[in-house]
């Protein structure tokens, strides 16, 4: 679920498309099916186009997106989708949004009975809201739905070997729960959003967890254990504790260690870390479970400032997620 340059993810776009449809607009959804050589956007990237030419998301850039928008509007008029193939040599690459030359195939079905049925789009939006995995199969030439199977564990969209079907896989948005609305968090939160994470700040101290300090992030003024009981960290969730106060950090760590969170990070000196390990061991966590934590949180890049520490934490989160075994 790679975000576009604005940090908007496929999940955001599908929910937006469903809302546009509910508001009475015609909507088409363009999907990158295949790429060769250089391409700004990966397979599975989508762009949603409304009948009044409102557009969100990205499938490439330059003239390619202009042609895709025109084709999407045509599909709304005709009720049928179509496959679009773009190829370009290096000499003209920048003009059409392919940075070094290459080819791209885009599928653009309308939200209609003959393309992506409205009830299927609504079901996909519902899956997103419930953090369920889902798979949408479409005819690679017309966009007509072939399969809307649920609970598929694969993460990557793909064009079938015979190029007859395109499989769009929808996975829950990545999340990061940050315990502590501190200075580092003020840098980490916006960077994480740009990288495609939904960000939630958890801090029982009302002065720290505010929308003014963290615009665009969810802010909870609750104790971390209580907050996480409701948020339920899963395998698409990272948890980072940053307050240096065990009264606040420890409850968050306890709930994170009981969950499937793919990343659990915390800051602190060696002395602080040793004391933390003792407390968590006394709470019943084994050495193997405690080994899931990343301490100190962040890649070793020699970070000194709050902004640099935030960069190192985000980089480690991405590194851990990219290197973990694929879901099965």
Domain at 174-323: CATH architecture: 3-Layer(aba) Sandwich (3.40)
Question: Which pLDDT does position 171 carry in this prediction?
Answer: 85
The DSSP letter of residue 150 is B
What pLDDT is stored for residue 130 in this prediction? 86
Residues 6+ apart with CB under 8 A from 55: 47, 48, 49, 69
How high is the pLDDT of residue 147? 65
Give the pLDDT confidence score for residue 106 in this predicted structure.
94
Q: What SS3 state is found at 201?
A: strand
237 forms beta bridges with: 175
pLDDT value at residue 96: 52
Three-state secondary-structure class, residue 313: helix
The predicted structure's pLDDT at residue 62: 67
**Domain limits of the chain?**
10-170, 174-323
pTM exceeds cut of 0.95 = no
| Per-residue model confidence (pLDDT) at position 117 | 93
Query: Distance (Å, rounded) from C-alpha 89 to C-alpha 94?
Result: 10
Query: How many angstroms separate the CA atoms of 100 and 194, rounded?
Result: 24
Q: Over the stretch 248-283, which tens digit does the pLDDT of each residue have?
A: 999 999 999 999 999 999 998 889 889 999 999 999
Distance, CA of 136 to CA of 62 (rounded, Å): 28
Look at residue 269 in the predicted model and tell me its pLDDT.
85
Omega of the bond prior to 186 within 30 degrees of 0, cis? no
Stretches in the chain below the pLDDT threshold 50: 90-94, 150-152, 327-328
**Residues 67, 46: Cα–Cα separation, whole Å:** 14
Question: Tens digits of per-residue pLDDT, 204-221?
Answer: 999 999 999 999 999 999
């Amino acid at each position: 679920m790679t975000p576009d340059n604005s940090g908007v993810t496929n999940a955001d776009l599908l929910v937006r498309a469903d809302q546009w449809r509910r508001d009475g607009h015609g909507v088409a959804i363009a999907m990158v099916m295949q790429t060769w050589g250089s391409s700004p956007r990966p397979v599975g990237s989508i762009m949603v186009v409304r009948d009044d030419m409102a557009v969100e998301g990205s499938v490439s850039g330059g003239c390619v997106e202009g042609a895709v928008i025109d084709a999407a509007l045509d599909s709304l008029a005709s009720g049928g989708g179509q496959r679009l193939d773009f190829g370009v040599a290096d000499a003209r690459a920048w003009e059409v949004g392919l940075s070094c030359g290459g080819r791209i195939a885009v599928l653009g079905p309308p939200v209609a009975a003959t393309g992506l049925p409205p009830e299927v789009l609504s079901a996909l939006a519902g899956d997103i809201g419930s953090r369920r995995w889902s798979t949408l199969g479409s005819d690679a030439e017309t966009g007509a739905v072939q399969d809307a199977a649920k609970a598929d564990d694969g993460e990557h969209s793909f064009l079938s070997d015979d190029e007859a079907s395109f499989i769009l896989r929808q996975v829950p948005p990545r999340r990061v729960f940050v315990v502590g609305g501190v200075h580092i968090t003020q840098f980490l939160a916006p960077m994480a959003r740009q990288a495609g994470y939904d960000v939630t700040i958890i801090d029982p101290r009302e002065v720290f967890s505010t929308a003014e300090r963290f615009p665009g992030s969810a802010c909870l003024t609750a104790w971390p254990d209580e907050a996480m009981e409701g948020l339920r960290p899963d395998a698409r969730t990272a948890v980072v504790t940053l307050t240096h106060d065990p009264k606040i950090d420890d409850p968050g760590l306890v709930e994170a260690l009981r969950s499937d969170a793919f990343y659990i990070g915390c800051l602190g000196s060696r002395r602080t870390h040793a004391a933390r390990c003792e407390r968590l061991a006394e709470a019943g966590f084994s050495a193997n479970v405690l080994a899931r934590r990343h301490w100190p949180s962040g890649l070793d890049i020699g970070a000194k400032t709050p902004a640099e520490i935030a960069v190192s934490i985000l980089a480690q989160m991405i590194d851990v997620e990219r290197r973990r075994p694929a879901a099965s």
